[in-house]
Amino acid sequence: MAQLELQNLRKQFAPSVVPVKDISLEVKDGEFLTLLGPSGCGKSTLLRLIAGLEQPTQGKVTIGGKNVTSIPPGKRNISMVFQSYALYPHMSVFENISAALKLRKTPREEIEKRVNDVTQRLGLEQLLNRKPGQLSGGQRQRVALARSLVRNPDIFLLDEPLSNLDALLREQVRADLKQLFESQNKPVVYVTHDQIEAMTLSDKIAVLCEGYLQQLASPREIYTAPANKFVAGFVGSPQMNLLTLDCQENTAILGDYKITLPQLQTQKPKIILGIRPEDISLRTTEIGQMIAGYIFLVEDFGKEKLLSVRINGSDQTLRVMIPADQTWEGENITLSLIKKQLHWFDVETGDRLN
């Protein structure tokens, strides 16, 4: 049974403002679910509905089999970590972490035990007497996490907790988070617009766009079999190549070349071809579709190079990711598109076709 379940959840602020549209999903004990999408897609509103900070226009929130839709936030036994840390500046680290336990009149011995346990796991035991103003950004984020963990909640909710950290520190704290929540065996719902966070932390990812749930699946499935054009273009860096091509019988026309289409129920005048830059090779392979073009831009990423290639006979461009030590001669090159890595999408709906 799911520890957290959302049933047809909808939030409407005005006739034309509906940030969450009929979303249903579940998160089991020990699962890490990430709500992923661009700004304004509804992910933070959905998190607030789970927390009880907003009331749904329709639908139901269930925690541990109990309907909590009308129960106030303080009685849901959830713990939330905010983007802004939300620490009390006049309190010490110990006082910040233990504040919620004191409000619940937890015995002093139990408070000290819980705080000591969680601060040891987060490496904060030497900072208990410091004030938030004396801490680095990473340390403050750890204090916010400790305050969340010490309560032993039924569900953890995290709203873009790493967005205020620099890139190096974000990578370190992200690794800490993964280990930390793997040991909790509680449902975790994490909001981010950063696909790297979503891919590395999650057991499941819910991709949102304009309030709708686009796909709910494992990180691997979302990357290798995106449900539609939006998911394909949003997840992955560099972005997947997405080309709108004319169709001729059972082939798609890319410049001077014909690419065999998968078996479709109806013949289409146009189709969208998707292929990731790393699934294109400069080497000839028997399993690849051979096409030629010329390189007009090279971007060096250190361990890899990103080539922009204009396809012969068209104005279409493919971006190709290759190892940094791979070489080629001249501007004109031959590409091999690995057939099993081709993705096909409907031009009108954007839905996946193969």
For the segment 173-179, the average pLDDT, to the nearest whole number, is: 80
pLDDT digits (tens, 9 = 90+) for 60-69: 999 999 999 9
Query: Could you report the per-residue pLDDT of 277-327, keeping only the tens digit for each?
Result: 999 988 766 667 899 999 999 999 999 999 999 999 999 999 999 999 988
* Element holding 113 (H helix, E strand): helix 108-122
In the predicted structure, residue 30 carries a pLDDT above the cut 50: yes
H or E segment to which residue 224 belongs: helix 219-224
- Considering only 26-30, 44-48, 217-221, 337-341, which range has the smallest mean pLDDT? 337-341
Q: Give the per-residue pLDDT at 69.
A: 95
| Predicted pLDDT of residue 1 | 44
Portions of the chain given CATH number 3.40.50.300:
4-230
| 4-230 maps to CATH 3.40.50.1970 | no
> Which two tokens mark 47?
């998190």
Q: Which residues of 183-192 are buried (b: 16+ CB within 10 A; e: fewer)?
A: eeebbbbbbb
How much is the pLDDT for 274?
97
Average pLDDT over residues 214-235: 97
112: CB partners within 8 A, 6+ apart: none
Q: Is the pLDDT of residue 102 over 50?
A: yes
The fraction of the chain above a pLDDT of 70, given in percent, is: 98
CATH 2.40.50.140 residue ranges for the chain: 241-345
Q: What is the pLDDT of residue 339?
A: 85
- At residue 328, does pLDDT exceed 70? yes
pLDDT at 285: 61
For residues 117-128, give the mean pLDDT. Answer: 86
Q: Residue 2: its pLDDT value, please? A: 54
- 17-24 average pLDDT score: 96
Fold classified for 241-345: OB fold (Dihydrolipoamide Acetyltransferase, E2P) (2.40.50)
